[in-house]
Amino acid sequence: MREVVLFSLVKIVCVIVPLLVMVAYAVLVERKVSAFIQDRVGPNRTALPLIGQIPLIGPFLVRLGIFQPIADGLKFILKEDFTPQHVRKVYFWLAPAIAMIPSLMTIAVIPFGSQLGSQQMVIADLNVGILYTFGIVSLGVYGIVLAGYAANSKYPFLGGIRSSAQMISYEIAMGMSVIPVFMIVGNLRLNDVIAYQAQHGWLAFPFMAPHQTAESYWLWPFTLLSFAIFVVAAFAETNRLPFDLPESETELVGGYHTEYSSMKFGMFFLGEYAAMIAISAMMAVLFLGGWTLPWWGLNQPAQTTGRGVLQIAIFLAKLLLLMLFFIWVRWMWPRFRYDQLMHLGWKRFIPIALANIVATALVLWFQSAPVQ
């Protein structure tokens, strides 16, 4: 029992610490990508006193902006924590934690490798892993709505109301988009979803398999449609452009976190990027084969530590590419009007997702029907 608890704590530390580092440097990457798109330089001044003076390497690291996340973190910690008199103080303090914690809890069931030594590379290998993730992700909206309500101010309240309507609308489409995955795989366990894709090809791209089957190609249009719906709904769920209506600086000043400062604002900031990482990890697991890469023979559970580390590296590479896609879209697409956002969710995505479920069920039925 002690060993189980100890290994679980080690895995939690080994997942949460890199996650927080990734969150910090995702902000730096976003600032650098936006600078590149807008023909600017981006962060290139912040330096630690000693490291920045190292010949050749120091100035290069400064120009890359490697130390900028450290400066941003110190700013959040040291900045004055101001609580306006008119806010509902208990809810005002509680909202940032509620907004951030669900993203960290979602990571608990994401398998980032098969095994390392004798340990599975997942904190909690639940047999209802997909349902758990959707249940936890849906809790994030409460932090945002509570922040808008607690601020006791017009613009934050409007941002919270927008966020609640938006996230509820697109959660339906996102949940319906993964139902074909349940039907095809026949299991809710995320490791089994990856194992299925290792044998039959990635659900988004079935030709990514050592041995393709006709059944995989018949189902490909429907799984690809599920993937497309999931990706668009993911932008809405994480409040990213073109669906950042809850913040919408040009209309609502800063949206639901207008009244926040210091580390409370930082927790909303970290929660958004942690949610991006969590949703990108879900996309990699459900539709892009997780830690598998067929051409290198990495579909089977790792027998050596080196092979396990390589599987983790492949999963992280997929995760980072999806994060870059999130960042690129933000700086290339304009924002939707709110009525357009709701129209797309209720009158387009939900009917299409429902039709996709029916079509997938019919194809599976024809494939399983006995030949007379």
The pLDDT assigned to 130 comes to 84
Measured CA distances, 13 to 7, 49, 200, 211, 364 (Å)? 10, 29, 34, 38, 42
Q: Are residues 127 and 70 in the same domain?
A: no
Q: Establish if 10 belongs to a structural domain.
A: no
Average pLDDT over residues 342-366: 91
Q: Are residues 74 and 205 in the same domain?
A: no
Give which of 56, 75, 65, 70 is closest to 34, Cα–Cα: 65
Measured CA distances, 241 to 230, 325, 327 (Å)? 15, 12, 9
Q: Are residues 63 and 157 in the same domain?
A: no
Residue 371 has pLDDT above 60, yes or no: no
The pLDDT assigned to 320 comes to 92
Q: What is the pLDDT of residues 319-335, one digit of tens each?
A: 999 999 999 998 888 88
Q: Are residues 231 and 265 in the same domain?
A: yes
Average pLDDT over residues 296-313: 68
Q: Are residues 241 and 225 in the same domain?
A: yes
Q: Are residues 187 and 234 in the same domain?
A: yes
* 120 pLDDT tier (thresholds 50, 70, 90): confident
Segments forming the whole domain that contains residue 66:
44-78
Q: Are residues 275 and 177 in the same domain?
A: yes
Residues contacting residue 312 through CB under 8 Å, at least 6 positions apart: 112, 113, 116, 121, 291
Q: Are residues 56 and 110 in the same domain?
A: no
**Percentage with pLDDT > 90 across the chain:** 19
Q: Establish if 223 belongs to a structural domain.
A: yes
Give the whole-angstrom CA distance, residue 221 versus residue 317: 25
Q: Are residues 56 and 119 in the same domain?
A: no
The pLDDT assigned to 213 comes to 62
Q: Are residues 127 and 200 in the same domain?
A: yes
* 109 pLDDT tier (thresholds 50, 70, 90): confident
In the chain, the number of structural domains is 2
* 355 pLDDT tier (thresholds 50, 70, 90): very high
The pLDDT assigned to 207 comes to 67
Q: Are residues 54 and 99 in the same domain?
A: no
Whether 360 contacts 353, CB under 8 Å: no
Q: Are residues 106 and 73 in the same domain?
A: no
Q: Could you write out the DSSP letters of every residue in 81-123?
A: ----TTS-HHHHHHHHHHHHHHHHHHGGG---SSEETTEESSS
Residue type, 152: N
Whether 350 contacts 176, CB under 8 Å: yes
pTM across the whole model: 0.89
Average pLDDT for the chain: 83
